[in-house]
Structure 1
Amino acid sequence: MVTVADRPRLDAPPPDRVARLRAFLYRHRLFVGALALAFLLRVVTMLGYGPAQWFNDSYEYVSGAVNPDRPSALRPNGYSFLLLLLRPLHSFGLVAFVQHLMGLGVAVLIYSLLRVRFRLPGWGATLAALPVLFDAYQIQLEHLVMSDAMFMLLVVGVITLVLWHRRMSWRLGAVIGLLLALTALTRSIGLPILVLVVIYLMVKRTAWKTIVAMVVACALPVTGYMAWFASAHGNFAMTNSDGAILYMRTALFADCRKMKIDPREELELALLCISAPPGQRGFSGQKYLWWAQNGQRFHAFGVGSTFTPETNKTAGAFAQRAILSQPLDYLSLVAGDFFRAFHWGRPRFPDFNTYRQYEFLPETKVLPAWSSYRGSTDTDAQKYDPGLRTAPIQGKIRVIGTDVTDPWAGFLQVYQRIVRLPGIVLGVLLLIGLAGVAVRWRKLGGPVLLPWLASFGLILAPAATAEFDYRYLLPAVPLACLAAAISLRHGFSGPATAAPAAVTPGDVATGDITSGAVTSGDATGDPAEGDPATTGPVMIGPAVPPAVASGSDATAPITPGPANPGPATPGPATPGPVTPSSGTASAPTTGSAG
């Protein structure tokens, strides 16, 4: 009996592509499931709090996007550039959606780096990404019209690129430099990260051409921005706020008697002296920068003069004098704010209003009508998104920035009380990473050093230069998770006993890692990165399953093999571990690590 086969569907994907996708999803099922659930949580957030949520700093960013001809004197305009790119779509809901994708992108980077570069098991790499995926305060921060989600993605992207490659070309160095420039233009603390990356690459003995390319690629956009800033404000800088913010840091302890300020010779510094004794100034310096009616001293220089070059320079000089005159008071204050990050609870700080802006509240957000560069903050928001709702409130038409919709909002309010990363857990992650650095002391910390230093620095820098704020902690979390995961993957037993596991042909056949990308690790158990110029691509997903390669039914279900499969046998002899140079059986070799 002769049968006629059905004509193949022209729109059907190739069988091997379907099989690869199914095998990929199965192999990474834990992370894919977590990622899908985290995406649903962010959809619930958009349904419950539309179109976005707002912080006091949000309005300055929106003003920068609505009036892109002038850089802000207070903070870099990098995030305003992102808002400007999205402005043609006229939707703060879209802005929030993009930022939620950025948060999920951070989790993907963490998982990919740990799985491919450091060969963690799927459950381990997924565990390291959980705080970014599910922390309620992370989700809420992504939903704010704020720069933090963008900054976090850029920082983690830079660290991922640096750790992924052992030998970096100058072109890759230039790409990393451009990302560092975007990081610095998003938040000025990005420039110190450049220093950390340069030091790390020098420790790794990276080619000088790569380092120079990175520094130049970072310097050019930053220098161009500073020239633009000078054309608008008269001084070659990124902001006119660093001195004023450092003054806020020292306002709680600065004692003009100890600083020996003579009002007759240093009148400008004397105008910034605070008459209240240090013990009666409260626990936050915010009021001495922002609140003219409650302690702020900058009004003595004239209305609207807080962020001018002259006032900023004077405030910076005052703060430096205070630090040099009272170093122990300064260090005590910095230490207090640094360790505030590691509480089990979430104490209210720096004030009630700021604390509430990080919460999912059962309240509609009415945008304030503060003055802005050209108009007011509420009209700037309406120019950006004409779809914002208005309502009569106390005889005035006000702009509504956030509508609260149940049951989604009610669910998030309960979720936020339960699902968060306690500060003490962040402290434990940092300690694990520090232990990983310590056991690699002969290699100056190995690959653990960079994410650990970046995480530590992101927590310390605000405490040293501004003031503790909960949103400053969140970009440090994924880096602390990376450092801890790398440390735990390769143990703390030291270089004498921690050797890397051999990679078998079975690993290549099942898609854990490509044969061309495998290099031996060093004596500390840290695998060496493959050189992309010579080793070919690194794949997270599996290669074509044997069934498909042999022409069998591609629609057959894929079932996992045994937990510890034996090595593949391409020939009569049983091969040993595969080396990247030849693919033949040989003993594992020891090379240098990243």
Structure 2
Amino acid sequence: MKAWATVRRHWAILILLALAVVLRVLIMAAYQPAFWFYGDSGAFIESSIRSGLDPYDVGGLGYSVVLKVLKVTGSFAVVVALQHLLGLLTALAIYTFLYRRGVRIWLACLATAPLLFDSLQVTLEHYVLGETMFVALSVTAILLLLWPKKPGLVACALSGFVIMLAWFTRPSTIPMVIIMLGFLAIRRVGWRPLLAFAIAFAIPYVAVQSWIGDRPSAFGTSYANRALYARVSSFVDCDRLTLTEAERRLCPLEPLGQRHDRTDYYGWNGPAVQVPKNDNEILRTFARKAIAAQPADYAQVVLRDLAPHFIPGRHIGPESDCLREKWSLPATIKGTPVPLACTPALTQNTWDNEFADDKDAPAATGLSTFLAGYGKVMRTVPIVTSLALLLALVAAIRFRRGSRDAADTITLALITVSLVIPPVLVAMYEARYGLPALVFASMSAGLSWRHLSKAGSSHPAGDQPQVPATEPAGIA
């Protein structure tokens, strides 16, 4: 009886989940066995095949460890099936959290819908890439803190360890860790829970860094130095800089106005190729001199690359547009040779670190053509991110000082910003780097709207009943 009552109460989200399952099944049927991104997917798979782990070859090691475990299946279809399932479970967790916090069911469904149906979300779930895993880990870490009325020692310790796993999967997570520490301090959880969070993160963090040592990796400065050099290469005018002879050899070969709009090109091509990966401090020095001499030009390219994260339809250039198309569902992959193709590649049917020959890919079908059209329409990340930050700003003005809702909403909004802005400051615009912000933006928007809709009621927004007394605390 209780189970049936739960189904009746939550029929809307169950329908959305069913439709989301159908969408993912169609994607798995149309694009077999999985999508491949040139460079990153191969590095992850190669890492899963080799014994041991090399910290340099991949952007993060957590996903490589998971692939090592899943290699026993010999199937990339199993990998992406699990990622699709993980995406669905993450969306369900967000819905349950919002419902527990007193958000109306229709609004909780609306906030969850982008996680179920956004085309970038479902496309990345189908790639042999670590984004889906990173999102699930980071959401788990933050929910451990937001779920209880006041997180205790165990919840904080678990959260610290899980966010460390997220960092192990994507090393650019440090700003999020700092925000979570600030959240615990503002919520006045006590020094023991705060210390438990810090220790649970710090001990494995130090262990990993000690294991890596001086080897170049994404966990140190070697990746960041190369990315920052590439960031400035699109605008730097070496005639305006005071450079050493060695630094001057790093000046881009193309004249201003004729440079690549996809700036990561300069990290792995041109003068930077001559800089050894284990001794590239000169790249950071060059980049800092360029930013100091041309701050307005640096600000201009940063704002240009931030715009697509917040404004739908904004374009940077043809190379960036080509990269963006790799995160879209294609009508066909046939006849689009990797790596020049502006479409995803497919993995082999066996566990191999080489992509499948595009000549063997199936021709366009009615299903793949439909999915390609769906993908062009259902891009929600810029709209949701912008709306969520706007709602959070308005709600922050009207929150009762010190309320739980205020701390939670502002924390989620700050995490959203921390996932979008730093990659653009240091590297470039890349749609997949901004995707994890979608889940936190959706959570923030749900809490903000709940507060604003209750602002005129007799209860202060932060004191609204979290769940009606006659209802279960979440989905049974």
166, 179, 185: which one pairs with 2:162?
179
The reply to whether residue 491 of structure 1 matches residue 452 of structure 2 is yes
Deviation track 1:424-463 (CA, whole Å, cap 9, x = no partner) reads 4431222112222232373394221111001112111111
Partner Cα distance (1:272, 1:103) in 2: 42
Q: Which region of structure 1 is more displaced relative to structure 2, 411-420 or 60-69?
A: 411-420
| Distance change in 2, residues 1:226/1:383 (3 Å) | farther
1:125 maps onto 2:108 in alignment? yes
Decide whether the 8 Å contact of 1:62 with 1:83 is kept in 2: yes
2:65 aligns with 81
Contact between 1:159 and 1:450, CA under 8 Å: does it hold in 2?
A: no
Cα distance in 2 for partners of 1:270, 1:209 equals 52
Whether the 8 Å contact between 1:79 and 1:150 is mirrored in structure 2 is: yes
User: Hey, what does 2:342 align to over in structure 1?
Assistant: none
In structure 1, list runs of 5 or more residues that go unmatched.
1-18, 370-377, 394-399, 514-538, 543-594
Provide Cα deviations, 1:406-441, integer angstroms capped at 9, x if missing partner. Answer: 343232122223333162443122211222223237
In 2, Cα distance between the equivalents of 1:329 and 1:193?
Answer: 28
Taking a change above 3 Å as real, the CA distance of residues 271 and 389 of structure 1, as seen in their structure-2 partners, is closer
> Measured at CA, do residues 257 and 93 of structure 1 come closer, stay the same or move farther in structure 2, by a change above 3 Å?
same
Percentage of identical aligned residues: 27
Q: Tell me how far apart the structure 1 counterparts of residues 267 and 323 of structure 2 sit (CA, whole Å).
A: 15
More helix by share: 2
- Pick from 144, 169, 172: which aligns with 1:189? 172
- Aligned-partner residue type, residue 540 of structure 1: G
**Separation in 2, partners of 1:508, 1:436:** 26
User: SS of the residue aligned with 1:280?
Assistant: coil
Partner of residue 315 from structure 2, selected from 344, 347, 363: 347
Q: Residues 47 and 446 of structure 1: is their aligned pair in 2 closer, same or farther, counting only changes over 3 Å?
A: same
Alignment of 1:36-47 (within 5 A): 36-47=18-29
For residue 503 of structure 1, report the CA deviation from its aligned partner: 5.2
| Preserved CA contact (<8 Å) 1:360 1:416 | yes
Give the residue type in structure 1 aligned to 2:333.
E
What residue is the counterpart of 1:384 in the other structure? 351
Partners of 2:205 and 2:32 lie apart in 1 by 35
Question: Alpha carbon RMSD of aligned pairs, Å?
Answer: 3.1
Aligned amino acid, residue 330 of structure 1: Y
1:26-175 aligned at under 5 Å gives the runs: 26-56=8-38, 57-73=40-56, 74-116=58-100, 118-175=101-158
Identify if the C-alpha distance between structure 1 residues 194 and 495 changes in structure 2 by more than 3 Å, giving closer, same or farther. Answer: farther
Q: 1:121 & 1:496 partners in 2: Cα distance?
A: 15
CA drift of 1:498 comes to 5.4
Alignment partner, residue 451 of structure 1: 412
User: 1:206-242 deviations in whole A, cap 9, x for unaligned?
Assistant: 21121222122112222222233237x3789546311
Q: 1:465-493 CA distances to partner (integer Å, 9 max, x unpaired)?
A: 11001112221112111111111101178
Q: 1:224 to 1:364 in 2, by over 3 A?
A: farther
Equivalent pair of 1:42/1:139 in contact (CA under 8 Å):
yes
Distance 1:218 1:348 in 2: 37
Q: Normalising by structure 1, report the TM-score.
A: 0.71
Q: Which residue, 537, 540, 544 being the options, matches 2:474?
A: 540
Does the alignment pair 1:280 with 2:251?
no
- In structure 2, relative to structure 1, the CA distance for the partners of 1:40 and 1:385 (3 Å cut) is farther
Report deviation, 1:40.
Answer: 0.9
State the one-letter code of the partner of 2:73: L
Give CA-to-partner distance per residue, 1:340-359, whole Å, 9 cap, x none: 22233263754354233112
CA distance in structure 1 between the partners assigned to 2:161 and 2:63 by the alignment: 15
| Distance in 1 separating the partners of 2:355 and 2:64 | 23
Q: 1-side partners of 2:50 and 2:335: how far apart? A: 24
CA shift, 1:389, in A, is 10
Q: Does the 8 A contact of 1:177 with 1:218 survive in 2? A: yes
What is aligned with 1:551? none
The residue type paired with residue 238 of structure 2 is C
Change (3 A) 1:257 1:364: same
Tell me which amino acid in the other structure corresponds to 1:274: P
CA distance in 2, matches of 1:422, 1:392: 30
Structure 1 residue 392: deviation in Å?
A: 11
Summarize the Cα distance change of 1:178–1:392 in structure 2 as closer, same or farther, 3 Å threshold: closer
- Contact 1:95–1:145, Cα closer than 8 Å, also in 2: yes
Cα pair distance change 1:335/1:353, threshold 3 Å? closer
1:382, CA displacement in angstroms? 7.1
Matches of 1:365 and 1:164, distance apart in 2: 49
Deviation for aligned residue 1:174: 1.4
- Report the AA paired with residue 166 of structure 1: K
- Pairing of 1:554-593 with structure 2 (within 5 A): none
Give the counterpart letter for 2:474 in structure 1: I
Q: Secondary structure at the match of 1:540?
A: coil
Q: Is the 8 A contact 1:174 1:214 kept in 2?
A: yes
- Given that residues 430 and 452 in structure 1 are in contact (C-alpha distance below 8 angstroms), is that contact kept between their aligned partners in structure 2? yes
Distance in 2 (alpha carbons) for counterparts of 1:95 and 1:252? 37
Q: 1:389 to 1:181 in 2, by over 3 A?
A: closer
Opposite residue 90 of structure 1, the aligned amino acid is G
* Equivalences for residues 215-234 of structure 1 within 5 A: 215-230=198-213, 233=215
- The aligned counterpart of 1:363 is 333
Contact 2:33 2:76 in 1 (8 A): yes
Q: Cα distance, 1:508 vs. partner?
A: 2.7
**Alignment partners' CA distance in 1, 2:17 and 2:217:** 46
Compute the displacement of 1:194 (Å): 0.5
Cα distance between partner residues in 2 of 1:41 and 1:406 = 16
1:463 to 407, 420, 424: 424
CA distance in 1, matches of 2:152, 2:352: 43
Per the TM alignment, residue 281 of structure 1 is displaced from its structure 2 partner at its CA by: 2.3
> Who is 1:316 aligned against?
284
Matched residue SS, 2:469:
helix
Equivalent position SS for 1:99:
helix
Higher relative contact order (CA closer than 8 Å, sequence separation 6+): 2
Is this contact kept in 2: 1:75–1:238, CA < 8 A?
no
The one-letter amino acid of 1:84's match is K
CA distance in 2, matches of 1:241, 1:422: 26
The number of residue pairs the alignment matches comes to 464
Which residue of 227, 232, 246 corresponds with 1:245?
A: 227
Work out the CA distance in 1 between the residues paired with 2:362 and 2:23. 18
Shift of residue 252, structure 1, vs aligned partner = 1.5
Residue pair 1:258, 1:325 contacting (<8 A) in 2 also: yes
Kept in 2, the 8 Å contact 1:365–1:403? The answer is no
Structure 1 residues 389 and 196, CA gap change in structure 2 (3 angstroms): closer
State the 1:381 CA deviation: 6.1
Residue 438 (structure 2) pairs with residue 473 (structure 1): no
Spell out the pairing of 1:507-526 with structure 2 (5 A cutoff). 507-509=468-470, 511=471, 513=472
8 A Cα contact 1:249 1:466, kept in partner: yes
TM-score normalised by L of structure 2:
0.88
What is the rounded CA distance, in whole Å, between the counterparts of 1:331 and 1:455 in structure 2?
21
User: Paired residue for 2:194?
Assistant: 211
TM-superposed deviation, 1:177: 1.0
Q: Deviations over 1:53-93 (max 9, x none)?
A: 11122111111111142323152211111111211111100
